[in-house]
Structure 1
Amino acid sequence: MKTALVTGANKGIGFAIAYGLGAAGFRVGVGARDDARRSGAVDALRAGGVEAFGVALDVTSDDSAAAAARFLEAEAGGLDVLVNNAGIGGRTDGGAQDPTTLHLDALRTVLETNVFGVVRVTNAMLPLLYRSTAPRIVNMSSDMGSLTLQTGPQMAAYAPSKTMLNSMTAQYARRLADTKVIVNAGCPGLVATDFTGHTGERTPDQGAQVAVRLATLPDDGPRGGFFNEAGPVPW
C-alpha cells in the first residue's frame, strides 16, 4: 500500500484531502502540531474506513520536519505522496495586510508557514520520495497568488506568499524534471472552512479534489503547473 503525508490534515481541506487519498487506496499520515486534534482526525478517518496514522509535525520547525521523516521511515517504510497543505492567512487587524501599512512581523509569520514550511518539509521528505515508484508532491496554493487574476481581498502577506509558493513549485519541478518526482500546485477555490470564516460555496470535499487528482497523476502527467478543479490556473 502506498503512503501519503498531508500536512495540516486535522481539519478542513487537509482532512478532506486525507480522506480522499484514503478512499483512493493510500495509507495516510495525518500531519498536525496539536496532539489532541491530530488524534481526533485519525480516529475520524479510521471510522470512515481510511487507514490513517498520526504524524507529529510543526512545519515551522527544522527538528520537527526531520523527526517526521524519521517517523515515516520507521512507521511506513517510505513515502509516495506529500501534500503540503498546512497554511495560514495571517493577522489582518490594524492594517496588518494593507500594503501601505503592512506589518513585517505578519509577513514573516505567513512566509514561515506558507513558504519556508513547504521547503522545510519537502526537503526533509525528498529522500523518502526518491525511493517511491510514483512520487508526487502537491503544494496547496490559491488563485489569490495569481499575478494574472489578482482575486480576492487585498492581503499583502497571504497573497504574495502563495505567489512565492507557486514560483517554488516551478523551481522544484525544474530541478526534479529528470526524476520520477512530479510536483504541481493546486488551488481548492473558496471553501467554507474555519480558515475562510465559513464563507464560500465550496465544501472541503470539493476543495480536496484537485489535490487528490494531482497526487495520483500518471507518470506522464503535467509537471510544474498550477491547477484547480477545472484545469490550469494562470500564473
Structure 2
Amino acid sequence: MQLIISDVTVKQDKEGRYCLNDLHKSSGGQRNNDPHDWLRLKQTKELIEELTDTGIPVTSIRGGKNQGTYVCRELVFSYAMWINAKFHLHVIRTFDAVAAKEQIRVSYRDTARIEYKPMTDAIKSERESQGKGIAPHHFSNEADLINRISLGMTAAKFRVHHEIGKKEPIRDYLTPEQIHCITELQRANTVFIGMGWDYEQRKESLMGLFDKKHRQPLIEEQHRLAA
C-alpha cells in the first residue's frame, strides 16, 4: 500500500519494507534525526533481533532510484517514536488511514467479482432464449466493454500497461473508485442484457452512466493519488 507522509511518498521494496530515508525526509530531515544514528542504538538492535517473524527486518539497496535503507512496519513505528511523539502519532494515523482505504478497496474488489457472475448468467440466459450458441468471447466481450469504459482500455492492455501477469486478477491492482465504477456498470449491464438491449444500446447507456456518476470521481481520485 502506498504511504504518503507530510507530502513525501515513502518508497517500498519488493518485500514491502519502507524507505527510512523517505521517512527521515518526511519528518523534516533534521541531522539529529538521521536514521543511521537510530539504527546504531542498543534498543534498536535488540528490536531487530526480536523481529525474526518478519523475515529480514532491515535491508539496504545501493544504486538506482530506489537506493536507501528499508525497514519493516514495526521499525517504522519505532523510528518515528524515536524522533518525537508528534511524528510518531502522525505515522500511526497515516498507516491507519491507508489500511482503512485498503479495506474499502478489497470490499469493492470482492463485490465486483461477485457481481460479475449475474452478468455472465444474463448473457447465457439471453442467448439461450434466442436459440443462439454460447462461446467464451461472448463473456469476454462484455468484460471488455465494461473495462474500456471504466479504465479506458481492455484488461489485456491494462495488464501490459501495469506489467501484471496473465494469471493475476487485474482487480487486485485497481483503485477503489475504479472497482466501484466497474461494479456499478456490471450491475447496470446485467439489467440491460435482461431487457434484450443490443450491444450498441447497452454501450451508449453505460457510457452515459459513466459520464454522469463516475467520470468526475475517477478524475478526482487520480489527482489525489498523484499529489
TM-score interval (norm. to shorter): under 0.3
Q: Whose helix proportion is higher, 1 or 2?
A: 2
Structure with larger Rg:
2
